Chains A and B, each alone.
Chain A
Amino acid sequence: MKESHGEGTKVKTKEGKGIGRSYIQLGLMALPTLFFSAFLIYIVAWNLWLSTLNWSLLHSKPSFVGFGTYAIVFKDLFFKVSIYHSTIFSLGLVAIGDAVGLLLAGLLYYLPNTQRAVYLSIFLYPMAISMATNGLIWDWLFNPELGFGWLTSHMGLPRLNPLATATSTTLSMFLVEFWAYTGLAVLFYLASFMSVDKSIVEAARIDGASGFKILFRILVPNSMNGFIVATALLFLFSFRMFSLPFVIGGGPTNLDLMTLVEYVYYRFYTEFFSESAAASTIITAIAAAVIIPYAVYGIRKWVMRG
């Protein structure tokens, strides 16, 4: 697929043929990845095109409207609500997940090895379970008669009903999201901490630093890697939330919880296809804006130093 300019063409010996053939091999090996990646770009572009139409229930023969669909979408109450939710869920998870993840990683750092491994697995297991299932179980836990409400009433406290008001519903969902994804932050912070040279930590101990001091003055400042990875992952995982609010909200149209991705689905099944595609494109744009600089700087710096 790709002939190099230098070696492949100049050296026409057996070696030269080998190199040339080798580049073809390389190209073939990369082909599936490139093909599927390209196909995905094609899909994104198709989405973009669909969003410039006015295809919907009302216009089954769609025509080009340029920015018109976007204008409708931006004015839509559901859209405004869902962008609000997506933003606060994502930023909230980043802030709290990063902070708590850091503290938990610090806690794990001081534990003996086997206990640390077990605890880490416990923080991570929610990711092995589908988000729909997670939402389901938490929905039951939020039940005022049978879930936490039962516990609190038996302890003499008022019966807890996390899904009673709009605010409490939002907070409850946030709790589930926190429970599900913070493990990632713990993992990467812990890895960062453990990569700090042990002798530096020992020197700090001899210099009289307490556990907390070592955590905040030595481990954290040297864990930029962990911070970048954890933050990016927390943002991206919370940003694409769909099944969680779906289950806890009882459907995609729960105004207390609707996220951008739910909006895409909602517009789809109400047959406003172009609106759905417009929302999809906006999501793609935001995801790209976050992930691409990270990919270009973060990962490349990591890979290229090898």
Chain B
Amino acid sequence: MASVRTENLKKIFKKGKSEVHAVDGITLTIPDGQAFGILGPSGHGKTTFLRLVAGLEVPTDGYIYFDDDLVSAPGRIVVEPEHRGIAMVFQLWALYPNMTVYDNIAFPLRNAGVPKSEIDKRVREIAEELGLTRVLNHYPREISGGQMQRTALARALVKNPRVLLLDEPFSNLDAAIRDGARALVRRIQRERKLTTIIVSHDPADIFSIAEVAGVIINGKLVQVAPPTEIYDSPANETVARLGGDINVIEVKASDGIIYISNSVKLPSPIPKLEGRFRLGIRPEDLVLSDSAEAPGMTLVGRVKVKVSSYVAGIFRTLVSPIDDDSIEILVNANGYVEPGSEKNLLVRLPKVKVFSEKGESLTLPLKS
């Protein structure tokens, strides 16, 4: 196992005359044995960062250390990928099409000169653990997507790597089997205490597997925290959106009250708030009710229902304040709500996030 540390890591690509700062000065330490998730919009540098750690890209600036060994420096690869003791699962799994599942998994061991009997033992062990025993003699084109993914995982784990790198490992799986795949990766990581870096644009992957997550936006590290903290206390609006659905509404604050509309208002979590701000509240932290009370919730006003639709176990309901039709708020309701009807809107106050007009969070918890 190894810890991974980067210092002011930068990667600049030249596209014709313009430069793209794919990774723009990232300093990060991932301790030995930690599952670290990297979240961010597509194309903002997550995969580039991972490839830099793998040694598949040369840093334009900055340093990368595995434990205390320098592996990458500005403009050069000090230790090549094959000597870093890493394993990588690619987005499209990169299985060798001309080899059977058995040979795919055995490949790294053969290259390392492991004796044949030992190879057989280890391949069969990992195949058993990942449920691949039945397909060992098949070719990648003959097996399902889930099996291909587990083969890629097996190939990565069979060499007992120091660091495991996963690049969007579930994005090519059917949605139905993703949960099972996530559970599998999580179990493997926890059991082996394997330093793992998983990159994904899907927050569900990060939340299920990572102990700590880093958010990369425009090549910069914007927030590093446990996933729940990123979800509840995002550093800015973009991070908030990355975490999941969120309503962001332009509001006015005065005298300690935040006004969504003239009649829909709530007490401000920040004392003495004045001016224009952006209010962030997730659909699951809102409730529609006929009563004025609900445990843990605060009444903020009366709304009219515009649309109610059923998606994946939730009734996504779009509502507007009765005195301002232009503001639309998404609420996760428990049941169908008749469009046109009026309901009370209640809010879970501790979950309210306030952002400045530029999107920076003003409700981050104080760090000691």
Closest to B81 in A: A206
* Interfacial chain A residues near B86, Cβ < 8 Å: 206
Partner of A199, one of B80, B94, B97, B111: B94
Given the known interface contacts A199-B90, A202-B90, A213-B111, the answer about A207 and B82 at a Cβ–Cβ threshold of 8 Å is yes
Tell whether A221 is near chain B: CB-to-CB under 8 Å: yes
Q: Chain A residues with Cβ under 8 A from B155's Cβ?
A: 203, 207
- How distant is B77 from chain A, measured CB to nearest CB, in Å? 11
Q: Which of B35-69 touch A at CB < 8 Å?
A: 54, 56
Q: Report which of B87, B92, B96 forms a contact with A218, defined as CB distance below 8 A.
A: B96
Question: Cα distance A218–B94 when bound, in Å?
Answer: 11
Interface contact A202-B56, CB-CB below 8 Å: yes
In this complex, what residue of A is CB-closest to B167? A199
**Contact of B88 with A by CB under 8 A:** yes
Is B31 an interface residue, CB under 8 A from the partner?
A: no
Closest chain B residue to A224, Cβ basis: B98
- CB pair A205 B92 closer than 8 Å: no
Judge if B359 is at the interface, Cβ distance under 8 Å: no
Q: How far is the CA of A207 from the CA of B108 in the complex (A)?
A: 5
A208-B113 Cα distance, complex, nearest whole Å: 10
A207, B92: Cβ atoms closer than 8 Å:
no
The proximity string for B residues 328-368 relative to A, scoring 1 for CB distances below 8 Å and 0 otherwise, is 00000000000000000000000000000000000000000
Instruction: Tell me the bound Cα distance from A277 to B56 in angstroms.
Output: 61
A197 to B90, CA, bound (A): 11
Q: Mark A186-212, 1 if CB is under 8 A from B, else 0.
A: 000000000001011011111111100
Q: In the complex, what's the smallest C-beta–C-beta distance from A286 to chain B, in angstroms?
A: 33
Contact (Cβ within 8 A) A197 B108: no
Q: Is the CB of B112 within 8 A of A199?
A: no
A222 to B96 Cα, complex, angstroms? 9
Contact code string B97-115 (vs A, CB < 8 Å = 1, else 0): 1100000000110011000
Whether the Cβ atoms of B87 and A206 lie closer than 8 Å is: yes
Note all chain A residues with C-beta closer than 8 A to B80: 205
The majority secondary structure among interface residues of chain B is loop
Shortest C-beta distance, A6 to chain B (Å), equals: 36
Tell whether, in the assembled complex, residue B112 and residue A197 are in contact, meaning their CB atoms are under 8 Å apart: no
Q: Quick check: B54 and A206 within 8 Å, CB to CB?
A: yes
Rounded to whole angstroms, the CA-CA distance of A182 and B368 in the bound complex is: 71
Known: A221-B98, A222-B97, A222-B98. Contact between A209 and B92, CB under 8 A? Answer: no
Give the CA-CA distance A217 to B106 in the complex, in Å: 13
A203 touches B98 (CB 8 A): no
Q: Which of B81, B94, B108 contacts A200 (CB 8 A)?
A: B94
Is the pair B97, A203 in contact by a Cβ cutoff of 8 Å? no
Cα(A202)–Cα(B111), bound, Å: 14
B165: nearest residue on chain A (CB-CB)?
A206
Which residues from chain B contact A213 at a C-beta distance below 8 Å?
A: 111
Q: How far is the CA of A208 from the CA of B87 in the complex (A)?
A: 10
Cβ of B33 to closest chain A Cβ, rounded Å:
21
Among A202, A208, A209, max chain B CB count under 10 A is at A208
Flag if B82 contacts A199 (CB, 8 Å): no
> Closest residue of chain A to B88, judged by CB?
A206
Tell me the complex Cα distance, A222–B140, Å: 13
Most buried by B among A197, A200, A206, A210: A206
The CA of A199 and the CA of B54, in the complex, are separated in Å by 13
Q: Report how far A197 CA is from B112 CA in the complex, Å.
A: 23
| Interface of chain A residues 200 through 240 with chain B (CB within 8 A) | 200, 202-210, 213, 217-218, 221-222
Residues of chain A contacted by B88 (CB below 8 angstroms): 202-203, 206
Minimum C-beta distance from A106 to chain B (A): 16
A4 to chain B, nearest CB (A): 37
Q: Which of B140-159 contact A (CB under 8 A)?
A: 155, 159
Chain B residues contacting A221 (CB-CB under 8 Å) are 98
- 1/0 per residue B7-28: CB within 8 Å of A? 0000000000000000000000
Q: Report A-chain residues with C-beta under 8 Å of the C-beta of B95.
A: 200
Q: Who on chain A is nearest to B90 by CB?
A: A199
**CB-nearest residue of chain A to B54:** A206
Tell me how far the C-beta of B35 lies from the nearest C-beta in chain A, rounded to whole angstroms. 20
5 of the cross-chain contacts (CB-CB < 8 Å) are: A199-B94, A200-B97, A202-B94, A206-B86, A218-B98
Additional A-B contact list (17), CB under 8 Å, known A206-B86, A207-B108 = A199-B94, A200-B94, A202-B81, A203-B88, A203-B90, A205-B56, A205-B80, A205-B82, A206-B108, A207-B82, A207-B107, A208-B82, A208-B111, A209-B107, A209-B111, A213-B111, A217-B96
Which 4 residue pairs of A and B lie closest in terms of their CB atoms, listed nearest first?
Answer: A207-B108, A221-B98, A208-B111, A203-B94
